[in-house]
């Protein structure tokens, strides 16, 4: 499902923003023949392909085939794959469920934001592998960002720290989603579960692995393997990591509150 050389904001910035915000092209394209499809249909087809086969399977030709268009006709809606990827991301962001955070304690707000992103990445695993250091600045991203910052609003954090705290949370969720996706891909590609893989590998490992030389690895690895029936359990990693993340944020937030009182 996973790895890709694609990234967000790799296309023409002006044309991408025009498409994201549905602004008519600045070059003033003519009316032309009646169109058989729409930008929304092209984006929906592209998301369906990426969800089913991974973003590596996404091409303009594949989208055209999905819609019953010629590849050249598809370019009348979106100028290229780079701009299409940004439209896909922003559409996914628009469609995310957003809980009402208003009356929740801050820990519950952060937990809700993490859960919303985890659910989105489960529906669209390819998103976890797209570098977004230059995010698509469309309506979906802006709404998502504004909503998620509310998890840290009113806690005494300055604006830069609020942004950093949100980045910290989203980075954790994305990291767990990537490893979960890699685990699922490994099972699919090898046609065997983690447990089956370990059963096949165990006889040779017993010959080459010296538990006396690496006692911690032997003891802890065996305990984790028994607990998870695998080397990695995404659900356990998420629960454990989120709890530690919240504890770490609590120290920082409470420290800011104490500083504010002392002023």
Of 96, 89, 90, the closest CA to residue 148 belongs to 96
Domain boundary among 70, 93, 116: 93
Q: So what's the pLDDT on residue 263? A: 41
Residues 17 and 107 in one domain: no
Residue 156 has phi, psi (to 5 degrees) of: 85, 5
Q: So what's the pLDDT on residue 137? A: 94
Of 30-44, 56-70, 198-212, 218-232, which has the strongest mean pLDDT?
56-70
Residues 179 and 249 in one domain: yes
For residue 171, being part of any structural domain is answered with yes
Q: So what's the pLDDT on residue 2? A: 45
Q: So what's the pLDDT on residue 30? A: 45
pTM of the prediction?
0.88
Residues 191 and 245 in one domain: yes
Residue 31 scores a pLDDT above 70: no
Tally the domains of the chain.
2
For residue 4, being part of any structural domain is answered with no
Q: So what's the pLDDT on residue 262? A: 40
The rounded percent of the chain whose pLDDT value lies above 70 is 90
| 192 secondary structure, DSSP code | S
Q: Which token pair is 163? A: 């942004």
30 CB-near residues (< 8 Å, 6+ apart): none
- Give CA–CA dist 165/63, Å, rounded: 37
Answer whether 60's CB lies under 8 Å from 178's CB: no
pLDDT tens string 102-143: 999 999 999 999 999 999 999 999 999 999 988 989 999 999
Q: So what's the pLDDT on residue 239? A: 97
Residues 132 and 255 in one domain: yes
Burial of 19 (0-12, 13-18, 19+ CB in 10 A): buried
Q: So what's the pLDDT on residue 4? A: 55
Answer with the residue of higher pLDDT: 33 or 179.
179
Query: Which CATH number is 239's domain given?
Result: 1.10.357.10
Domain boundary among 55, 75, 93: 93
Farthest CA pair distance, the chain: 77
Of 28, 25, 30, 2, the closest CA to residue 12 belongs to 25
Residue 51 scores a pLDDT above 60: yes
Task: Give 225's pLDDT tier (boundaries 50, 70, 90).
Answer: confident
Residue 68 scores a pLDDT above 90: yes
Q: Which domain holds residue 37?
A: 13-93
pLDDT tens string 144-172: 999 999 999 999 999 999 999 999 999 99
Residues 64 and 131 in one domain: no
Residues 243 and 202 in one domain: yes
- Report CA torsion sign: 79, 85, 89, 95: positive
Residues 87 and 176 in one domain: no
Of 142, 136, 144, the closest CA to residue 17 belongs to 136
Domain boundary among 35, 61, 93: 93
Residues 164 and 181 in one domain: yes
């Amino acid at each position: 499902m996973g790895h890709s050389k694609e990234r967000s904001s790799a296309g023409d910035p002006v044309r991408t923003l025009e498409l994201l915000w549905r602004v008519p092209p600045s070059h003033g394209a003519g009316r032309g023949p009646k169109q058989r499809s729409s930008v929304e249909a092209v984006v929906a087809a592209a998301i369906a392909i990426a969800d089913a086969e991974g973003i590596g399977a996404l091409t303009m030709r594949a989208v055209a085939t999905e819609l019953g268009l010629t590849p050249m006709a598809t370019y009348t809606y979106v100028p290229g794959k780079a701009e299409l990827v940004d439209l896909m991301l922003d559409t996914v962001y628009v469609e995310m469920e957003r809980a009402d955070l208003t009356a929740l304690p801050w820990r519950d707000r952060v937990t809700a934001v993490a859960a919303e992103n985890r659910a989105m990445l489960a529906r669209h695993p390819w998103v976890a592998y797209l570098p977004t250091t230059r995010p698509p600045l469309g309506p979906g991203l802006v709404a998502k960002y504004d909503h998620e910052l509310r998890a840290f609003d009113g806690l005494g954090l300055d604006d830069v720290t609020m942004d950093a705290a949100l980045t910290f949370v989203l980075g954790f969720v994305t990291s767990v989603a990537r490893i979960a996706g890699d685990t699922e891909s490994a099972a699919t590609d090898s046609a065997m579960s983690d447990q089956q893989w370990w059963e096949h590998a165990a006889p040779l490992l017993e010959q080459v692995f010296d538990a006396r030389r690496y006692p911690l690895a032997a003891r802890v690895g065996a305990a984790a393997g028994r607990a998870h029936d695998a080397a990695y359990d995404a659900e356990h990693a998420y629960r454990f990591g989120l709890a530690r993340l919240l504890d770490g944020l609590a120290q920082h937030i409470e420290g800011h509150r104490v500083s504010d009182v002392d002023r």
